[in-house]
Structure 1
Amino acid sequence: MPSPTQRALAKVPGPLRPFLVQHRSLVKFLLVGGTCFLLTLAINYGLKYTVCQNKPVVALTVGTALATVVSYLLNRQWSFRSEGSHKEAIPFIVVSALAVGVNDLPLLVSRYVFHLREPSVSHFTQEVADFVSGMIVGTLVAMAFRYWAMKKWVFTNTKYHEAQDNAAEPPARVG
């Protein structure tokens, strides 16, 4: 009986399969990241338009921090498949705290260095600048940092599970 991984791969177009198999932890990491991006977006704007109206960096920080907890759980159980030890918790907290700061930097620069905020610019320009700097640029830079740092310092014990995943790969096509 085929494994869930084999069944999922059977539905993927042929040319994409080798890439997905070779970069499976990156693909899983990106799926988790996309989910957490949407969570951050919802929390950020929920706070920004209610209790943190004059504190957009606080709203982004809270949204990013909460999504980071969800990210930890999903990445630990699925993307990097840690072997059950919680020894990665301290490095995860350190990397995540740094990543939240990395995520906030573009918004801080946009608002307080380039003064892309009211009254210097229109409300619309401020909101576009906040979205691009905080949600897009900040997220992309923090994502690259997190992926590198998580593989290097946090989820380092993944060889066992990668060997199991490789055993579940579909046979190579001949001809």
Structure 2
Amino acid sequence: MSLRENPVVVRALRFLGVGGFCFIVTLAVNYGLKFTVLGAHPTTAFLIANTVATVVSYVLSRQYTFQDRNDAYRKRTQFIGFCVVSAIGIIINSAPLYISRWVFGLHTPEVSFLVQETADFISGPVIGTALAMVFRWWALHKFVFPDEQKADKEVELAA
């Protein structure tokens, strides 16, 4: 079996593609808000940007990444699970930015604008996204879009 035929590899590549697209959405919304109406509230701008990207991610994940695990009768359960996992992911994603800004004090006037923006980018979109991505990959597989055959076997074994 080649790598392209392995369903886990295909799903992982699709997950990374959706994540890459949503990363761009996050950056666009974050910087759009941060440099216009939410300049004094960078964490809020980042939270809003992540929320917008999460909605996009749900649609793309359901229809593209996990299409083989997309059961119509589980749609409501999947949506609720995705929202819970995504809310936790947003907190994980935003925590490094919050820590950078408000714990380490990497914001103007304590540091230069360039240092502030570099720290914001590294802590939020880079470190935060990496941590949240690992969490989301694990949680979506485990709880939201589980392998139906494995889940059925586990239920049978438990009974």
The offset of 1:156, in angstroms, is 1.4
Q: Where does residue 94 of structure 1 map in the other structure? A: 84
Which among 23, 26, 29 is matched to residue 37 of structure 1? 23
Which among 31, 52, 72 is matched to residue 58 of structure 2? 72
The offset of 1:19, in angstroms, is 2.8
Tell me how large the CA RMSD over aligned residues is. Answer: 1.4
Deviations 1:108-140 (Å, cap 9, x if unpaired)? 110011111111110110000000101111111
The offset of 1:158, in angstroms, is 5.9
Deviations 1:24-60 (Å, cap 9, x if unpaired)? 1110000000000000000000000001000000010
Q: Is the 8 A contact 1:80 1:158 kept in 2?
A: no
Cα gap change, 1:90 to 1:121, in 2 (>3 Å)? same
Q: Where does residue 155 of structure 2 map in the other structure? A: none
Considering Cα pairs closer than 8 Å and 6+ residues apart, tell me whether 1 or 2 has the greater RCO: 1
Q: Is the 8 A contact 1:83 1:157 kept in 2?
A: no
Q: Where does residue 121 of structure 1 map in the other structure? A: 111
Q: Which stretches in structure 2 are left out of the alignment for 5+ residues? A: 150-159
Amino acid at match of 1:19: L
Amino acid at match of 1:83: D
1:150 aligns with 2:140: yes
| Cα distance in 2, alignment partners of residues 21 and 38 from structure 1 | 28
| Cα distance in 1, alignment partners of residues 64 and 79 from structure 2 | 16
SS in 2 for 1:53: coil
| Cα distance in 2, alignment partners of residues 91 and 53 from structure 1 | 32
Q: Where does residue 163 of structure 1 map in the other structure? A: none
SS in 2 for 1:88: helix
Higher helix share: 2
1:18 aligns with 2:5: no
Amino acid at match of 2:128: G
SS in 2 for 1:116: coil
- Give the TM-score, by structure 1 length: 0.78
Q: What is the aligned length?
A: 143
Q: Which stretches in structure 1 are left out of the alignment for 5+ residues? A: 1-16, 160-175
Amino acid at match of 2:3: F
Q: Where does residue 38 of structure 2 map in the other structure? A: 52
| Cα distance in 2, alignment partners of residues 155 and 142 from structure 1 | 17
Q: Is the 8 A contact 1:29 1:75 kept in 2?
A: yes
